[in-house]
Chain A
Amino acid sequence: MKPRPYLLTLLFLAVAVALSIAVGSVFIPPADLWRVLTGRPPQEVSQAAVILLTLRLPRTLLVLLTGAALGGSGAAYQGVFRNPLADPYLIGVASGAGLGAVLAMSLRWPYSPLGLLAVPAAAFLGALLTVFLVYALARVGKVVPTTNLILAGVAVSAFAGALTSFLMLRSSGELHRAVAWLLGGSVVAGWKPALIVLPYLTLGLGILVLSGHALNLLQFGDEQAAQMGLPVTRAKTVILLAASLTTAAAVAFSGIIGFIGLIAPHIMRLWFGPDYRRLLPLAAIGGAGALLVADVLARLLMRPQELPVGVVTAVAGAPFFLWVLRRAKNQGYW
């Protein structure tokens, strides 16, 4: 049997997108859905049209982009650190990006027209500072042991989280929204967030997808990679920059969502092998699908209230994390 990785993953994504468009607090009959989507909404479905076009479709797009960013950057971090537990959330990059984003928000930037653009930029700077700090703290010679990586990630994450809390408490008023955002919920409605994030994501994920061959070489260690012709330091720096840009794009408007960056690459690697040229796009597609499913669950589980999607991914992801940890320990590699 020859598995068809892209076909299967895209199929999963398509189902997830369909679910995300169809499910919500207001039921819209499938026939009306179809009419709105094909661009001929008659009078009686105008309410459905409003809900779809201003709420569900933009949300679906933002969640899709966020999931793709988390899956792709997770795969890249795992590859550069040669560690299966690297995930933008666990190594603290997401918290760093969150701190950057909250800093930008607390200065009330998002409420001016240009300010919305500043959020992902600030998140990028935060993510970048964090990833190099965690790497420097965790590195022993040329390797990054799992325990060090996670510990450094936890410490830096806690620090960034504390600063974030401080900023949020100081800026009163907006507290509720900020907390909801931090747990993984969009603050700004409409198409804007997705459209602003799109260029960051395209650039970041684009570079990562092109880095598949370099990531493959890095799995053999820096020395062998160099002997096969890879400029190791330059390649690692470019990949970490791109991964941080991608993470920042995810965090900027969707908050800190854990475990998608861990689960998506892992399952793809398990099913379709370790070749990063394929793994990276697959992890992005799979991550998008997984986050959409989590988001649908977040809408359904406590109806009519919504759960923050970060709560759903953590409930599903934490046990998965422990399973991976055990597996990595038993196999004695990575």
Chain B
Amino acid sequence: MLRIENLSVFYGPRPVLHGVTLEVASGEVLGLIGPNGAGKSTLIRAVSGVIPVAGGRVRANGDDLLALPVLQRARRVAVVPQAVTLPPAFTVWETVLLGRTPYLNFLGQISRRDEDIGRAALARVDALDLAERRVGELSGGEQQRVLLARALAQSTPILLMDEPTVHLDLHYQIGLLEQIRSLAHGDGLAVLLALHDLNLAARYADRLALLVEGRIEAVGWPRQVLTPDLLSAAYQLPVEVIAHPLSDAPLVLPGR
């Protein structure tokens, strides 16, 4: 379980996150939504410990995450970063095994067990057949799956994902989100998932948190958060919300 308590972050003198408090239960996908610049990426980076926080705490199953050494942190939280350029000459297999870093000795020796876990992680995202390919040759969707596999190889109870579906076509978006949901529901991971697309968020997140200008404006079931009032205020644009004709999930349409 991930608990973010009153987290504040500044970029220089400018506050980016104001006392954010959130909880992601094990087995749950919490969708983090909000306009550009609201602080979604900052929140994920702060929780993973790579930027300094001005105040607050992050707890992973009770441990004070930000007070732990990097290596211990990497055993509790894995991150799938937002579409990044990967060093193109590394193979998928080499890349996924890097996820085992927090468990290696100082010689960096990969054991049979590490390889088994790496293979299982690749299989989990249907990317076993990519193992020998170089990451530079992969499509955006394949790269994203490889990064997810690398995060899974870290064997953490908590997974942070920063817009993993960006640049993916509809087919890959749905495929990836199905996999993420089954990681939470099936394997019991706590998943914090920043998403741009409100309708995908409505369909694949168990609960949503709406982040606006560094503050959590609303947390709850998709139906509670995706309301015309909240969204119009957040995105500064008239918004209609209707029920999805098949699934009954909320469907967000820009008004007018």
Contacts and interface: CB of A to CB of B under 8 A. Distances in A.
Interface of A: 210, 212-214, 216-217, 219-224, 226-232, 269, 273-275, 277, 331, 333
Nearest to A215: B108
Interface string B65-98: 0000111011101110100111111110010001
Contacts of A212: 108
Nearest to B104: A213
Given A219-B90, A226-B50, A333-B88, A210 B154 contact: no
Contacts of A275: 90, 94
Contacts of B50: 222-223, 226-227
Nearest to A269: B89
Given A213-B101, A273-B89, A274-B89, A229 B71 contact: yes
B73 A229 contact: yes
B79 A227 contact: yes
A277 B108 contact: yes
Contacts of B106: 210
Contacts of A273: 89-91
A226 B49 contact: yes
Q: Which secondary structure characterizes the binding site on chain A? A: helix
A231 B69 contact: yes
Nearest to A227: B79
B87 A220 contact: yes
B185 interface: no
Contacts, number: 76
B18 interface: no
Nearest to B51: A223
14 contacts: A210-B107, A214-B108, A219-B90, A222-B50, A226-B70, A227-B74, A227-B81, A228-B98, A229-B70, A229-B71, A229-B74, A230-B70, A230-B71, A231-B71
A228 B78 CA distance: 7
Contact of A224 (B70, B73, B81, B104): B81
Interface residues of B, number: 34
Given A220-B86, A269-B89, A277-B108, A229 B81 contact: no
Interface in B206-255: none
A223 B99 CA distance: 14
B48 interface: yes
B224 to A, nearest CB: 32
A275 B135 CA distance: 13
Contacts of A333: 85, 87-88, 136
A199 B81 CA distance: 42
**Complex A-B, nearest 6 residue pairs according to Cβ-Cβ distance, in ascending order:** A213-B108, A229-B74, A229-B102, A219-B87, A274-B89, A227-B79
B203 to A, nearest CB: 28
Given A224-B81, A229-B70, A231-B69, 16 more contacts: A212-B108, A217-B101, A219-B87, A219-B90, A221-B84, A227-B49, A228-B99, A228-B150, A229-B71, A229-B74, A229-B101, A273-B89, A274-B87, A275-B90, A275-B94, A333-B136
B152 to A, nearest CB: 12
Interface string B99-130: 10110101110000000000000000000000
A273 B134 CA distance: 10
A9 to B, nearest CB: 18
